[in-house]
Amino acid sequence: MLSYFRWVLFFVALFATLMGGSFYLGRSLLTAEGPLRTTKTVVIPRGAGPVTMAKVLEEEGVIAHTRLFRIALMIDPTPKTIKAGEYEIPARTSMLALVELLQSGKVVQRRFTIPEGMTTAEVVEQLRKTEALTGDITLDVKEGDLLPETYFYSRDDTRDGLLLRMKEAMEKTLDAAWRKRAPGLPLANRREALVLASIIEKETAIPAERARVAAVFINRLRRKMKLESDPTTIYGLTGGKGPLNRELTRADLQSTSPYNTYVVTGLPPGPICNPGRASIMAATNPARDRSLYFVADGQGGHAFATTLVEHNRNVARWREIQRERLEQSQSQSPATPAPPASSAPSRQ
């Protein structure tokens, strides 16, 4: 009888030793450094099961043993679904850390940035060229519908889905700005505020000038004066599909386009770009300024004026700066003809 119990104790001890050794060995295999030498981006395809995932990871050099990966998934005490997508896997990632990463669903976040002033045609073209996105663009988006901002997305998100987020962001921004607008603006609705904001966006890139540029156009609207904005006239010529790449001519300024604000009175029929938040806020809350004119000052900004006499002096100063730059350019590169000086049309 005593001999029997000794044998039982022996086998219990042996079993415990074997189990402990197996657990230690298994734990060591799961926590050991993986074969990946450098950080790598790996895509787990949609609908992939453990076998397919293991094969993808092995082919990408992330794991050395597909069976060990499947075992790691099976013995996980709190198993979670692995989300398909693009994962950035650090070098030497262990099997245990790899499973935790894939179960976390922390896929790579990509960025799509719309600069302020980009037209809708330009945004759509850029989206079409973004390979990580999927699907055709079927959403109807018009000029001024999209809020310039940085948007995060994951591989295989749809182009329509990203466009919809841009459109919703613009609607919320415009609604908030319109609710907080200054009283007495000569703007009938938020659509007109958007049109004005798009003109402001194209007229100046200097944050401190936006509210003052807005004031000039608001003052002109109140007085029923033509806005005489170069960017609106240019939009009428290009349709927002690209830059004009030349100076405006006298014929351009006499064209019958509804966007030619040298001819038509009031705002053009629609936005000329997608304005940013700052330009939208400037359009709905312009500076308290009586200026009616502005022209380039030669230093990246603009010179503002309340009277035509003062404005004409600013225009003359700007043309003199242009002449000096032209002469300097010609003297430095006599073999290369310099571009002609801008006519800088006078806003009257």
Question: How much of the chain, in percent, has pLDDT values that exceed 70?
Answer: 86
Average pLDDT, the chain: 87
pLDDT at 289: 95
Q: How far is CA 124 from CA 110, 114, 193, 290, in A?
A: 17, 10, 23, 39
Which residues belong to CATH 3.30.1490 in the chain? 23-104
Residue 217 to residue 224: CA distance in whole angstroms: 10
Name the DSSP class of 223: T
Q: Given this structure, which CATH class describes domain 23-104?
A: alpha beta
Phi, psi of 304 (to 5 degrees): -100, 150
Nearest C-alpha neighbor of 171 from the set 156, 202, 199, 193: 193
Q: What digits encode the pLDDT tens for the residues 156-191?
A: 999 999 999 999 999 999 999 999 999 999 999 999
284-303 core/surface letters (b: 16 or more CB in 10 A; e: else)? bebbebebbbbbbebeeebb
Q: What digits encode the pLDDT tens for the residues 81-113?
A: 888 889 999 999 888 888 888 988 889 999 999
The SS3 of residue 287 is: coil
Give the amino acid at 27: R
Alpha helix locations (H) across the chain?
2-31, 50-59, 66-74, 95-104, 120-128, 159-179, 190-203, 210-222, 230-238, 250-253, 277-284, 308-332
The SS3 of residue 153 is: strand
Which range among 10-19, 110-119, 142-151, 194-203 shows the weakest confidence by mean pLDDT? 10-19
Highest mean pLDDT among 23-27, 92-96, 326-330: 92-96
Identify the residue with better confidence: 263 or 67: 263
Residue 329 to residue 322: CA distance in whole angstroms: 10
Give the amino acid at 314: N
pLDDT at 133: 95
